Structure 1
């Protein structure tokens, strides 16, 4: 367990980092400037079960849902965690979008990554996140598209959706949000996200720039600066090849599987990494293709033969290649053996029959035991570890705990999502099976979108956790090279507030920076919270890593 000395040192480091961007001369003036409209007040959350006293302003909307399409009665649910810094009215505004597509930014953001709290086991209570991003910014977590989380539509056909409507709805949400919270209209505004936000953020950025060009808003209304994007799905073929190479070079799959898959699977039409993810128990399994799109469902079923139908792009030369590809993919999945594909060195959440093993794994990130004072009883050994930076918090079952917490009626009432106090007809889930997302869009390269954005005056940070196996760093670095940008600042290490190397970075022309985060998985703000917090702080306040 961490000692008081370690906690004290950590607290000092966190306070120093938070205060790094604060202008002391405006602290007093900012205390009384945090005003809200009457509409915003209807969304105010005064408390959350198990959270204790809130040290920041919190808002969430079902009493006053933000409608993005009146004809379809389509509305998006949001949570706003205002900055807890001494100057919240000077801090930037950030919109965070989770990926999927079809996964909640509240469950996979507010409660499990960069938000102010984490749930305890069995969803009983909440614990404070010492590296919450709302210590530095006002952060909006949006459940998008409709049918994700508590977002809804009264038009069932809206479950069939793709990148274009998702971007337009989110842009419309932003304009209406800024009407409800006009104090943010001139605030520096950043987008943030991960995974399939590799599509959401670039497309939304274009939508915002088009809105400015068409005078749907002006810079005083939406002061857009750019985005921070983690482990983004960007170019399916490149990301898939990168995934296969990552699995092979990290000793997860055999040479036979690696070369067999590369030679027999058409990576331009489908992503073997999704097939690996399904076998490993990932949240999004490709289940059923429709004419309009693809349904992503949460399931642990065995992969069926139909998955390898030639219509899905597995094999390009008829049945022979299809069968060869199928054989190599199944062989590789068996070799993967159900590890955590989002963080290859982290353990998975085990079921009740393996509860003892789960507890054994979960304490591996804590410092425990050690002697009292002298070398003979372990004091020197303990002293060595006390000099090391704190180990990241990691709970392999956090997604389960989030769902338990979010399905409590008292929690839903607190979030303004259930005014009756009764259990809702369907459960809240982290990643919904209801969204049928366009398969064509999922397989579309984002490089042409970057061509529209680069050189626009915006700043873009693309970052990769270097032990993510679902959208690995290998593919990301390759598609960035294809942009053909000039290097303005050569590859170098960057350090967090602990003084440790937190990763490496390179700055390109046209406003793009790439950074790796050492020891981080797919969900960087969760698996390496301190490093992600430091990176976020530097970026949104215009300081070099």
Structure 2
């Protein structure tokens, strides 16, 4: 019997394994947005929302309650002696702790800094943000993707990730907003006010205060990166930083030099269109279903129940839609779990290991975290989210900020087709045409440069979490981004 998309979503969320929480949170968000858009009046004007959102991002002044405190004495207390179960031979420094972003309400964000493995003082600073909205940058970004360690299947020990991004940069993983991971507020009503605007403002205040704790990073080359719903987080934070650099000389100026976002959720309508095109072109949905969807959907906010019904007419089955060719984690009746098949370096059950590890009291103590029940994602009942990030990206490019977008080409939820549609809406000309780039003597993906400083790259064989599925290729891409050079193409291999 055919299961509708919405029903399938609820089944997947209810039975979800830990490592898929970030993906499930995004799917839940997309479906809720799709439903709410279809129930609105046809008079709704998406361009009005975009215009208002960009203006709010770029001109809003932060309150005096966020004044920078002197925090240099707190740095030593944040130093991590060693994480439980970490391997021998770790030579780089690690720090973690809390930075208060709202003293009146007691709102504080948790961070984990891993300094570069060599010559840290000469390397740039990168902030990493996971999406959701409402998912942990530490649990996912640091422990499963681009951090220096991976949690082993014993839930207790760590192994080295040789393709960690701290090979080329000092990396901060920020649990954002409050209520996510180890971040918290002493005022519970704060969680009901979560949304894009609050998230960008709090992240900005975090950075300003964090630099007082780590003054050696003031003026350092700074970049922001992330994935998924960070397609909202990263551009909005970048716009907030640039706006305050231009308009508020009393605060610490952040030397922001570029943003890099993977499989970004950028535009509601274009993401939906991109998903349908991707699924049809990759033989997941039939010609008949695709034709019916195209007939009933305009892929704009005026789409109603006929469009929703048309898109509900396919069965995703037991497929990881975030890597349509990848294995899934099997939950056995005896409570055990195992991959449906084995791929070197990739374990779809990793989320179970991470959740167990981060809920170990000794681990939380080593991290200087409050004793809490850690979970990968939190439903914060998101309050504000613009329909499109295209106006914000355009504003950033107009103000000279390089923007790199990349897509793992096995992801069907924020697929490369959707990103291409949003790039098209930017109206940029091609400066360097689509070409391959290489990794380990084979094609690592494809890349194109546009006028104004936009780069779009694909990562071959990667799913939604590119540094997890293809860590070597992700490291090559971020290394090229930090150098301001397109990744190399070795012809004739």
**TM-score bin, normalised by smaller chain:** 0.7 to 0.9
1:209 aligns with 2:242: yes
**Cα distance, 1:268 vs structure 2:** 3.0
Q: 1:40 maps to which residue?
A: 75
Q: Any residues of structure 2 matched to 1:423-442 within 5 Å, and which?
A: 424=371, 427-433=373-379, 435-438=380-383, 440-441=384-385
Give distance in 2, aligned partners of 1:352 and 1:116.
31
Q: 1:231 maps to which residue?
A: 263
Task: Return the TM-score normalized by structure 1.
Answer: 0.73
Q: 1:518 maps to which residue?
A: 460
1:71 aligns with 2:17: no
Aligned-partner SS, 1:516? strand
Q: 2:322 maps to which residue?
A: 342
Report the more deviating stretch, 483-492 or 129-138: 483-492
Q: Any residues of structure 2 matched to 1:164-183 within 5 Å, and which?
A: 164-183=197-216
What's the Cα RMSD here? 2.0
**Cα distance, 1:329 vs structure 2:** 3.7
Give distance in 1, aligned partners of 2:206 and 2:242.
15
**Cα distance, 1:162 vs structure 2:** 1.2
Give distance in 2, aligned partners of 1:535 and 1:240.
27
1:156 aligns with 2:108: no
Q: 2:447 maps to which residue?
A: 505
**Cα distance, 1:258 vs structure 2:** 2.4
1:397 aligns with 2:432: no
Q: 2:411 maps to which residue?
A: 468
Give distance in 1, aligned partners of 2:216 and 2:472.
30
CA contact (8 A) 1:455 1:511 kept: no
| Runs (5+) with no aligned partner, structure 1 | 1-35, 270-312, 317-321, 367-392, 419-423
**Cα distance, 1:509 vs structure 2:** 1.2
Give distance in 2, aligned partners of 1:354 and 1:455.
57
1:416 aligns with 2:368: yes
CA contact (8 A) 1:122 1:404 kept: no
CA contact (8 A) 2:224 2:234 kept: yes
Aligned-partner SS, 1:260? helix
Residues 10-39 of structure 1 deviation map (CA, whole Å, 9 limit, x = unaligned): xxxxxxxxxxxxxxxxxxxxxxxxxx9431
Q: Any residues of structure 2 matched to 1:34-433 within 5 Å, and which?
A: 37-53=72-88, 54-61=90-97, 65-85=98-118, 87-160=119-192, 161-216=194-249, 221-265=253-297, 267-269=299-301, 316=304, 322=305, 324-325=306-307, 327-332=309-314, 335-353=315-333, 358-359=338-339, 361-362=341-342, 365-366=343-344, 393-418=345-370, 424=371, 427-433=373-379
Aligned-partner SS, 1:207? helix
Aligned-partner SS, 2:341? helix
Aligned-partner SS, 1:141? strand
**Cα distance, 1:71 vs structure 2:** 1.4
CA 1:67 to 1:463, structure 2 compared with 1: closer, same or farther past 3 Å? same
Give distance in 2, aligned partners of 1:357 and 1:479.
39
Give distance in 2, aligned partners of 1:255 and 1:534.
38
**Cα distance, 1:521 vs structure 2:** 0.7
Give distance in 1, aligned partners of 2:356 and 2:337.
22
Aligned-partner SS, 1:437? coil
**Cα distance, 1:265 vs structure 2:** 4.9
CA 1:91 to 1:217, structure 2 compared with 1: closer, same or farther past 3 Å? farther
CA 1:217 to 1:144, structure 2 compared with 1: closer, same or farther past 3 Å? farther
Q: 2:483 maps to which residue?
A: 541
**Cα distance, 1:487 vs structure 2:** 1.4
**Cα distance, 1:252 vs structure 2:** 1.0
CA contact (8 A) 1:195 1:230 kept: yes
Aligned-partner SS, 1:178? helix
**Cα distance, 1:245 vs structure 2:** 1.0
Residues 234-272 of structure 1 deviation map (CA, whole Å, 9 limit, x = unaligned): 111011111011111111122232233343356434xxx
The correspondence for 2:427, drawn from 470, 484, 488, is: 484
| Runs (5+) with no aligned partner, structure 2 | 1-70, 488-493
CA contact (8 A) 2:327 2:339 kept: no
Give distance in 2, aligned partners of 1:90 and 1:260.
56
Give distance in 1, aligned partners of 2:400 and 2:307.
44
Give distance in 1, aligned partners of 2:238 and 2:278.
30
Task: Return the TM-score normalized by structure 2.
Answer: 0.80
**Cα distance, 1:414 vs structure 2:** 0.8
Aligned-partner SS, 1:436? coil
Give distance in 1, aligned partners of 2:250 and 2:265.
29
